[in-house]
Amino acid sequence: MKKCIVLSLFIVLLLLINNSVADQPKRSLSIENAQVYIISPKNGSTVPTTFKVVFGLSGMGISPAGINKKFTGHHHLLIDGKTPDLLKLLGEGVKHFEGGQTEAFVTLPKGKHTLSLILGDYMHRPHNPAVVSEEIIVHVK
C-alpha cells in the first residue's frame, strides 16, 4: 500500500514538472549569421581603471528587456567569467543592459581582464542559437 502511494506521488510530481517545463515559452530565435562583438576597446588594449565599452551587433536589432520583438535583444557583458549555460536565463555573473544600451562605462581593478558579450532576448535568455561574441583581453593600468 505504501509503495503504491509513493509511486502515485512520484507520478504526480513528474507530471507537474513536465507541465511547468512545457508552459515555459521557447527561446527566441536568432537570425543566421547574426553577430555580437565589442567595438571598443580593441583586443589587447591597455585601458584606465574606468573605460568605455562599445557594443556592436549585426544581423539583428536592439530592444529593451521585456519587449518581445522578433529578432531583437539586449546586451549582457561578461567580465572575467566563463560563458554561462546558454540554455538558461542570464543571471549572476553578467552585467545586464536591459534598457537597450549599446555602450557602458566599466570600472575594473588593475590587471588583465576578459570581456565578452551575449545577446539576450526579452526575458534575459540567450537566443536559439545563442549570439555570443569572441572574448577580448584588456589590460587595466
**Topology of 27-140 in CATH?**
Immunoglobulin-like (2.60.40)
In angstroms and rounded to an integer, the radius of gyration of the C-alpha atoms of the chain is 20
Is pTM, for the whole model, over 0.85? no
On the CB side of 115, how many CA atoms lie within 13 Å of its CA? 31
Chain segment 83-119, per-residue pLDDT in tens: 887 878 787 778 999 999 999 999 999 999 999 999 9
Beta strands 50-58; 35-40: pairing state: antiparallel
In one-letter notation, the amino acid at residue 26 is K
Query: How many angstroms separate the CA atoms of 75 and 77, rounded?
Result: 7
Neighbouring CB atoms inside 10 A of 12's CB total 10
The ranges of the chain with pLDDT < 70 are 1-25
Q: What is the predicted pLDDT for the residue at 88?
A: 84
Neighbouring CB atoms inside 10 A of 36's CB total 24
Task: Give the 3-state secondary structure of residue 79.
Answer: strand
Q: What is the predicted pLDDT for the residue at 91?
A: 75
Q: How far is CA 5 from the centre of its chain?
A: 42
Q: What is the predicted pLDDT for the residue at 9?
A: 44
Q: What is the predicted pLDDT for the residue at 6?
A: 40
